[in-house]
Structure 1
Amino acid sequence: MKEEKISGKVFDSVVLRRLFKFVKPYWKRFILLLVLTVGVAILGPIRPYLIHIAIDEHVANGNFPGLLNMTILLIGLLVLQGIVTYLHTYISGWLGQNTIKDIRDELYDHLLGLQLRFFDNTPIGRLVTRTVSDIETLAEVFSQGVAAIVGDVLQLFVITAIMFYTDWRLTLVSLSTLPILLFSTYIFKEKIKYAFNEVRNAVSSLNSFVQEHITGMAIVQIFNSEDREYEKFEEINKKHREANLKSVLYYSIYYPVAEIISAGSIGLLVWYGAQQLLSDNSITPGILIAFIMYIQMFFRPIRMIADRFNTLQMGVVSASRIFLLLDSEEQIPDQGNLKPAKINGDVKFDKVWFAYDDKNFVLKDISFDVKEGHTLALVGATGAGKSSIINLLNRFYDIQQGSITIDGHAVKDFDLPYLRKNIGVVLQDVFLFSDTIRENIRLGDNSITDEQIRKAAELVGALDFIEKLPGGFDYNVMERGSTLSVGQRQLISFVRAIVYQPRIIVLDEATSSVDSETEEMIQTAIERLMKGRTAIVIAHRLSTIQHAEKIIVLDKGRIVEQGDHQQLLDAKGFYARLHKMQFKSLKQA
């Protein structure tokens, strides 16, 4: 994805049209917001006009009852303006928060359906930035962007109309410095646009680096890389600081310049107005005071409008990046609707070719079958393609050539959730969420009862250690299960796999990270679980697969040997050499 290069147009019709599709469910609130925007734009400029009348018609003539009435009217106007402003601010914020909630839901739902290939090639920090920071920026599009710009522009038109209606000469004098302010505002807008884009890119890089290195902190410390990683972080953080300081610099220049231009306009107004007031009385004190207020009200939206445009532009950039992610065509095709009453578990790979990048094939012409209730073991060196076979069976990836079937039906014809529910997987690298043991087993599926969880834990042999923990099944394992041992995490993942009573069991190096006692416990549970189920086992420890009906030996993505344990030993090939090496190492140990 090339979203770092997106700079964005302020009024990108395609992006804004897609963005406002999310506003459609709240169109009544949006219409009300527009009405309130008009109200805010009109009510503000009325106040100087009333003050002008109060001074010239009541104060100058000593009409105190009329002045009292005008004061009450002004107070009422201020109260009304306060109420309208409150409603405008609240509804714009409400609309923004509800809209970004819907966008974030849709984005996260989209991420859940993407193939693992996408996550292999995309930094997690970037996705976090898109899901959190970029979407949060969109909220300002509604609270400080479109509605605010419309309100500011409308207020400028109202103020200008009242000023020309009151006195065209004072209006021309007052606005004589406007071209200078507009030019400086345009320069500021262009400069700050690129500065903000640099800030967004720096935030994305910072998020990616911090997420990756905090997750891999153990590796950093094991290899004594703290100083080197700190230098890398310092460089990225320096770029983040410089990007932000650049935007601060532009703000620190623009606002004083705008203030000076505004003050200059008031100075010209007072100079010209005072001359007219003293010479021919064509201008009254009330008009002069009202015009000073008009100028302050006129220049404030112009100063703010550059900020509004940049807010809108940042929102367009963020929306473009979000829509680019939403448009990624790497979803797992889920067009199958096959949901048989029961899966028997006959698995067949027929001339399967697969590459993660569509070029370099990691599986080449793989063919094998596993009958219902039988066990298939996969053996081979690292990178031989064992885990890829498991990924394809679960449809984490789709194959380029060949076919994969279960009970004679192509896996792509099955309803995807139904398919995966019937395949229980225990991986070597166990991931536990920061939650209770119960929720890590249930994973949000409330149809799984506590009794089912307890029975599954008892079957695996995990019940004893779980009940000894504070709170038992309510014990919080913390992030990635950091408060549990490797063996305990492995046992919980095993409970998680079997609690659904799957028809096919997949064990990917499931016992390679546990001690002998825990391995023996798991092997006992495996024997109970495998009865009547199809099992596919990946193992480096050949002692755990000697009873498998079929063992397949993989090398560089191809099947080089297959048979049962004794047949492969008698063949004196790859498997026999691997078995001899392991047996020798065990004897030496």
Structure 2
Amino acid sequence: FQFTGYLALSSILFYGSNLISQGLLTYGELSSFCLYAVLSAGSLSAMSGFYLELMKGLGASSRLFELKDRLPRIPLEGGIKKGNVEKAIRFEHVAFGYEDRDPLFHNISFDVPAGKITAVVGSSGSGKSTIASLLLRLYDPTNGRILVDDVDLKDLDPSYWRHHIGTVGQEPVLFSTTIKNNIVYGSNEPEKVTEADIVSAAEKSNADEFIMQFPDKYDTNVGEHGSTLSGGQKQRIAIARALVNKPNILIMDEATSALDASSEYLVRIALNKLLENSHQTVMIIAHRLSTIKHADQIVVVDKGSVAEKGSYEELIAIPDGIFRKLVEKQTFGFKNEESY
């Protein structure tokens, strides 16, 4: 393409020079013609590039408009504005399965008493985190129902319900900003969060100790995805973010998995004190024995249903029970483990 353009320009100059030598053309006319030709050729090239960029933009925006016009299966607003639990949250014969997969649950039935700590345990892939997603109503059960004080969860306002739930996931998500801003993000009304609220939430999650050791303290930038912090520090900031809103319901999905034993103990003591004062309803999804040992109720999920349910003492006393086997494997290890 460039070779053709330069060849055409050279031909014009060569032919124009002959015309000038014959007196049929002036230097100004030849210069004007060459200038107009170059501008016109450049404009045509720019128009072709603009057309390509326009097609790229239309292709990308079509997907955005498709998502914008898509109606969610679960509405964001509308329904009964209920954000607390006075009696219990009840799972009644809940069945659920992700699209293009085998059903994950076929009969999940248990109660989450108000103001108590309920631990959900089970093997990996048994659907423990999915139970938390169903409680947040990120998905709807295919069968059965979830009741909050005898009110179907589908009848509640989803946004209002979620605003009163504090959630700490397995992998904490931090933003590239200060520790203070990362904690404030957990509030529904950030402008009303005071410094005392931030410090209180950090103390409850045992994060205030290491934050105060930083030169900038709460104004310390955590880096991209919290790259400047350790896994335990990120987890404790995520717990503080969940507590700053003073939620009525607290869901902790392997929230203490990245903490050492002493930090986990302090976090658990702080949560127990918090529960005594505010009567929060807590659901803990965990594997570690130290986390679930002091729960008021333990629910064991196995093969798509609730296999066992009760306190730690009741479940550990069941001979050949699923929970007892999980505890024995964690405490004593595998009996047939080979030594190298």
Q: If the TM-score is normalised by the length of the shorter chain, which range does it land in?
A: 0.7 to 0.9
* Equivalent residue runs for 1:535-550 within 5 Å: 535-550=282-297
CA distance in 2, matches of 1:341, 1:366: 23
CA distance in 2, matches of 1:419, 1:428: 21
Relative to 1, partners in 2 of residues 1:581 and 1:344: Cα closer, same or farther, differing over 3 Å? same
Larger radius of gyration: 1
CA distance in 2, matches of 1:312, 1:381: 55
CA distance in 2, matches of 1:567, 1:341: 34
Gaps of 5+ in 2: 335-340
Partner of 1:470: 215
* Equivalent residue runs for 1:429-508 within 5 Å: 429-443=171-185, 445-508=190-253
- Alignment partner of 1:576 is 2:324: yes
State the Cα deviation string for residues 531-577 of structure 1 (Å, max 9, x = none): 31111111212343234333211123332222222332333211122
CA distance in 1, matches of 2:238, 2:255: 9
Gaps of 5+ in 1: 1-253, 279-284
Question: Which one has a larger percent helix, Structure 1 or Structure 2?
Answer: 1
CA distance in 2, matches of 1:561, 1:529: 28
CA distance in 2, matches of 1:295, 1:479: 54
CA distance in 1, matches of 2:183, 2:253: 18
The residue type equivalent to 2:322 in the other structure is F
Relative to 1, partners in 2 of residues 1:264 and 1:415: Cα closer, same or farther, differing over 3 Å? farther
One of 48, 56, 75 as aligned partner of 1:334: 75
CA distance in 2, matches of 1:300, 1:306: 10
* Equivalent residue runs for 1:215-364 within 5 Å: 254-268=1-15, 271=18, 285=25, 289-290=28-29, 292-328=31-67, 329=70, 333-338=74-79, 340=81, 342-344=83-85, 346-364=88-106
State the Cα deviation string for residues 365-413 of structure 1 (Å, max 9, x = none): 3222212212221111111110111122223344433333433444444
The residue type equivalent to 1:537 in the other structure is I
CA distance in 2, matches of 1:395, 1:479: 30
* Equivalent residue runs for 1:375-394 within 5 Å: 375-394=117-136
SS in 1 for 2:104: strand
**CA shift for structure 1 position 501:** 0.8
CA distance in 1, matches of 2:303, 2:281: 26
Relative to 1, partners in 2 of residues 1:344 and 1:305: Cα closer, same or farther, differing over 3 Å? same
Relative to 1, partners in 2 of residues 1:330 and 1:566: Cα closer, same or farther, differing over 3 Å? farther
Relative to 1, partners in 2 of residues 1:448 and 1:416: Cα closer, same or farther, differing over 3 Å? farther
Partner of 1:395: 137
The residue type equivalent to 2:129 in the other structure is S
**CA shift for structure 1 position 267:** 4.1
State the Cα deviation string for residues 101-122 of structure 1 (Å, max 9, x = none): xxxxxxxxxxxxxxxxxxxxxx
- Alignment partner of 1:529 is 2:277: no
How many residue pairs match? The answer is: 325
CA distance in 2, matches of 1:332, 1:296: 61
SS in 1 for 2:212: helix
Task: Please say if residues 117 and 297 of structure 2, whose CA atoms lie closer than 8 Å, have aligned partners that are also in contact.
Answer: yes
Aligned residues with identical type, % of pairs = 32
The residue type equivalent to 1:305 in the other structure is L
Relative to 1, partners in 2 of residues 1:309 and 1:550: Cα closer, same or farther, differing over 3 Å? same
Relative to 1, partners in 2 of residues 1:560 and 1:289: Cα closer, same or farther, differing over 3 Å? same
Task: Please say if residues 336 and 412 of structure 1, whose CA atoms lie closer than 8 Å, have aligned partners that are also in contact.
Answer: no
State the Cα deviation string for residues 470-510 of structure 1 (Å, max 9, x = none): 12211222223333333322222211111101111111122
Task: Please say if residues 286 and 292 of structure 2, whose CA atoms lie closer than 8 Å, have aligned partners that are also in contact.
Answer: yes
Task: Please say if residues 255 and 303 of structure 1, whose CA atoms lie closer than 8 Å, have aligned partners that are also in contact.
Answer: no
- Alignment partner of 1:557 is 2:299: no
**CA shift for structure 1 position 269:** 5.2
The residue type equivalent to 1:384 in the other structure is S
TM-score (norm 2): 0.83
The residue type equivalent to 1:509 in the other structure is E
CA distance in 2, matches of 1:262, 1:409: 81
Task: Please say if residues 91 and 109 of structure 2, whose CA atoms lie closer than 8 Å, have aligned partners that are also in contact.
Answer: yes
CA distance in 1, matches of 2:61, 2:245: 35
* Equivalent residue runs for 1:51-70 within 5 Å: none
Task: Please say if residues 81 and 157 of structure 2, whose CA atoms lie closer than 8 Å, have aligned partners that are also in contact.
Answer: no
Relative to 1, partners in 2 of residues 1:256 and 1:410: Cα closer, same or farther, differing over 3 Å? farther
* Greater RCO (CA < 8 Å, at least 6 residues apart): 2
Partner of 2:337: none
Question: Which one has a larger percent strand, Structure 1 or Structure 2?
Answer: 2
